Amino acid sequence: MRVLIDTNVIIDVLTRRHPLYGNSAAVLRMCGDQWTGLITASQTTDIFYLLRREKKSAAEAKAIIQKLVDNLTVADVTVADVKNALVSEIDDYEDALLAFCGKRRKADYIITRNDRDFKNSPIKAVTPEWLISSRP
């Protein structure tokens, strides 16, 4: 199974946000063990920015990004993804871009805490809790 992981799930793990950490971390572990986990190239810059804002050094933020890309598959963002996201019925552009990158890379699910934000997505969006409890 291929899952595209939204930035909020990764940040839950990196910042150990409770009570969200447990299920989000379980999703990332499953990506290492049983599933193919995807993130987009553009997410790496967002994650870097958020880590730096959390007062981590640039070197520490880069080391964390390196661990992510060593354990997850990085999906490129194409012009077609951008154009599809711009005309999408998904209200948030970043969410739309994620959805269309995931569709092109044949992701089965988008894993997010905000599944309602993806109601018009070409890929079903589910929460970490849903994915862990259903174990598809």
Across 65-96, b (16+ Cβ under 10 Å) vs e yields: beebeeebeebebeeebeebbeebebeeebbb
Q: Phi and psi dihedrals of 46, rounded to 5?
A: -65, -45
CB-facing half-sphere around the CA of 91: CA atoms within 13 A: 6
Instruction: Report yes or no: 96 and 80 within 8 Å, Cβ to Cβ.
Output: no
Inter-helix orientation angle 58-71/41-53, to 10°? 150
pLDDT confidence tier of residue 73, bands split at 50, 70 and 90: very high
In whole angstroms, give the CA distance from residue 88 to residue 95: 10
**With respect to CATH, is domain 2-134 assigned 2.30.110.10?**
no
In 34-127, alpha helices (H): 41-53, 58-71, 79-86, 93-104
Per residue in 43-54, pLDDT (tens digit) is 999 999 999 888
* pTM assigned to the model: 0.91
Per residue in 96-125, pLDDT (tens digit) is 999 999 999 999 999 999 999 999 999 999
Give the mean model confidence (pLDDT) for residues 59-75: 94
